[in-house]
A and B are shown apart, each in its own frame.
Chain A
């Protein structure tokens, strides 16, 4: 597997095939005696903006702390949760429990549901 080509920037779906965003970054553990291994997938604004410029990453973190769901740090998914890598990266998780949908839920609750006809984010 080629990590940059086959994993980075691929779309992730949870066990119910709900879109969870794209793989924004990967955390690698490099031990002194063991082989390097991927430990986590990173999701979210600060990680992806950091790839453009570290200052943008810091700005994104600061803005996220002031407005929105106010999550501290990037969303991390353990690599052990990766089920398959094909067209999408399929994860054995519930998207809502990971924090990957925090912004989706926040915008739905604070903006979209308040407009008539917007529906309810929690309705089946």
Chain B
């Protein structure tokens, strides 16, 4: 009974915690500019994420190591340091974007400019980390994030042509700006395959003391939770394609995005969008801050647990305090969170090889996983998607910067 409850909660939190500013803005821009044409990128990203999440849970349950623990042990400090710099820099940019997403949501709800929200929001995120337990952070924020199901409701109410939706699951060449199309595909892949999710998920498995008996639960949560989450992202793209594209809106600013749900839900769409952004980005900001602190603490072998008092794992608490403080500064200065979001998602794709390739080596290491090592299907799916996103990132990021 306890395990059924855990599966249900795991799936619900995966759905509620899936959308964040990156997945919403990349899918919305793709829908507004290219209609359904980039749905294949969401399908590919979600498929890869299912495999990666399942793998990180399996590694934790079988070897009792988090991904970071195992990486430091297996590859040593010099290599670990390269991964640390790459991942933490990108994750920090994503955290700035998430805090910006909450601030923009609050701006829509209250009319007060987003830079004014930067400090109260950073303080609230930090306070929840300071006082809250792991399950409060994981389950509480994700349950609030279930408001993002409004995108699914809106997509169904807009009556999309399902045959066109189905045919967009296969990649096709764009009629318009090819560089922009590539950049959006890369950003969608980066938003879907966020490495911080793996670090957060495997740390959570250790916090909740998973062992081998949790392997079926892990498979269920990764499979069903991420699939439903991916469907939510697709709903965002479909809504943008049907509500924004016909009006020629290309989502250059955040208030334009707020119009997405008003076509399908005229009365409350505006508020649903704002609340979705506030709750979804809030959950993501908590997860990213924790993931960065986990990365440092596990990599250097410090005490770490979100369930302990801050003074009992002082260096861990110090890292997330500092990171949240620093992430609020660019927002106070008025940096555009949309630009940070799009660039951080594309950079996530570009840094995927340094995060995922060593992880694949770990997942094939008999010392850590014994008979629970990866099979050829999981290795191939992840390797192919990583190569595609890396190549696309190498081509499209310079073109996007040159174009901008």
Contact A9/B314 with A21-B301, A119-B309 known, Cβ cut-off 8 Å: no
Residues of A within 8 A of B312 (CB): 119, 121
Residues of B within 8 A of A111 (CB): 314, 318
Q: Is A20 an interface residue (CB 8 A)?
A: yes
Q: Is A19 an interface residue (CB 8 A)?
A: yes
- Report yes or no: B78 in contact with A107, Cβ–Cβ below 8 A: no
Q: Is B334 an interface residue (CB 8 A)?
A: no
Chain A 6-31 interface 0/1 with B at a Cβ cutoff of 8 Å (1 = within): 00111110000011111010000000
Count the A residues whose beta carbon is within 8 Å of the partner chain — how many? 31
- Report yes or no: B310 in contact with A19, Cβ–Cβ below 8 A: no
Expressed in whole angstroms, the Cα–Cα distance for A18 and B303 within the complex equals 8
- Report yes or no: B310 in contact with A118, Cβ–Cβ below 8 A: yes
Expressed in whole angstroms, the Cα–Cα distance for A105 and B312 within the complex equals 9
- Report yes or no: B73 in contact with A104, Cβ–Cβ below 8 A: no
- Report yes or no: B302 in contact with A19, Cβ–Cβ below 8 A: yes
A50 CB → nearest B CB, Å: 10
Q: Which of A79-124 contact B (CB under 8 A)?
A: 87, 103-105, 107-108, 111-113, 115, 117-121, 123
Residues of A within 8 A of B317 (CB): 112, 118
- Report yes or no: A120 in contact with B301, Cβ–Cβ below 8 A: no
Contact A118/B303 with A52-B81, A87-B64, A87-B65 known, Cβ cut-off 8 Å: no
Expressed in whole angstroms, the Cα–Cα distance for A9 and B312 within the complex equals 23
Chain B 60-95 interface 0/1 with A at a Cβ cutoff of 8 Å (1 = within): 000111000100110011101100000000000000
Residues of B within 8 A of A120 (CB): 311
- Report yes or no: A108 in contact with B73, Cβ–Cβ below 8 A: no
Contact A104/B315 with A21-B300, A52-B78, A119-B309 known, Cβ cut-off 8 Å: yes
Q: Is A48 an interface residue (CB 8 A)?
A: yes
**Nearest-CB residue, chain B, relative to A24:** B77
Q: Is B159 an interface residue (CB 8 A)?
A: no
Residues of A within 8 A of B73 (CB): 9-11
Residues of A within 8 A of B64 (CB): 87
Residues of B within 8 A of A71 (CB): none
**Nearest-CB residue, chain A, relative to B76:** A9
- Report yes or no: B315 in contact with A117, Cβ–Cβ below 8 A: no
**Nearest-CB residue, chain A, relative to B308:** A119
- Report yes or no: A108 in contact with B69, Cβ–Cβ below 8 A: no
Q: Is B178 an interface residue (CB 8 A)?
A: no
Q: Which of B246-304 contact A (CB under 8 A)?
A: 300-304
**Nearest-CB residue, chain A, relative to B72:** A9
Residues of B within 8 A of A117 (CB): 130-131, 310
Contact A118/B311 with A9-B73, A48-B77, A111-B318 known, Cβ cut-off 8 Å: yes
Expressed in whole angstroms, the Cα–Cα distance for A107 and B313 within the complex equals 10
B85 CB → nearest A CB, Å: 11
Expressed in whole angstroms, the Cα–Cα distance for A118 and B131 within the complex equals 9
Residue of A10, A24, A119 touching B311 (CB-CB under 8 A):
A119
Residue of B69, B76, B78 touching A11 (CB-CB under 8 A):
B69
Q: Is A37 an interface residue (CB 8 A)?
A: no
Contact A51/B78 with A19-B302, A87-B64 known, Cβ cut-off 8 Å: yes
- Report yes or no: B301 in contact with A20, Cβ–Cβ below 8 A: yes
Residues of B within 8 A of A18 (CB): 303
Residues of A within 8 A of B314 (CB): 104-105, 107-108, 111-112, 121
Contact A22/B315 with A52-B78, A87-B64 known, Cβ cut-off 8 Å: no
Residues of A within 8 A of B318 (CB): 107, 111-112
Q: Which of B160-200 contact A (CB under 8 A)?
A: none
A-B contact pairs, 11 of them (CB 8 A): A18-B303, A19-B303, A48-B77, A51-B76, A51-B77, A51-B78, A104-B303, A113-B311, A117-B130, A117-B131, A118-B311
Residues of B within 8 A of A (CB): 63-65, 69, 72-73, 76-78, 80-81, 130-131, 300-304, 309-315, 317-318, 321
Other A-B pairs beyond A11-B69, A111-B314, A121-B314, 8, CB < 8 Å: A4-B76, A8-B76, A22-B301, A51-B77, A87-B64, A112-B317, A118-B317, A119-B312
Q: What 6 A-B pairs have minimum CB-CB distances, sorted nearest first?
A: A119-B309, A108-B314, A22-B301, A119-B311, A21-B301, A107-B314
Residues of A within 8 A of B (CB): 4, 8-12, 18-22, 24, 48, 51-52, 87, 103-105, 107-108, 111-113, 115, 117-121, 123
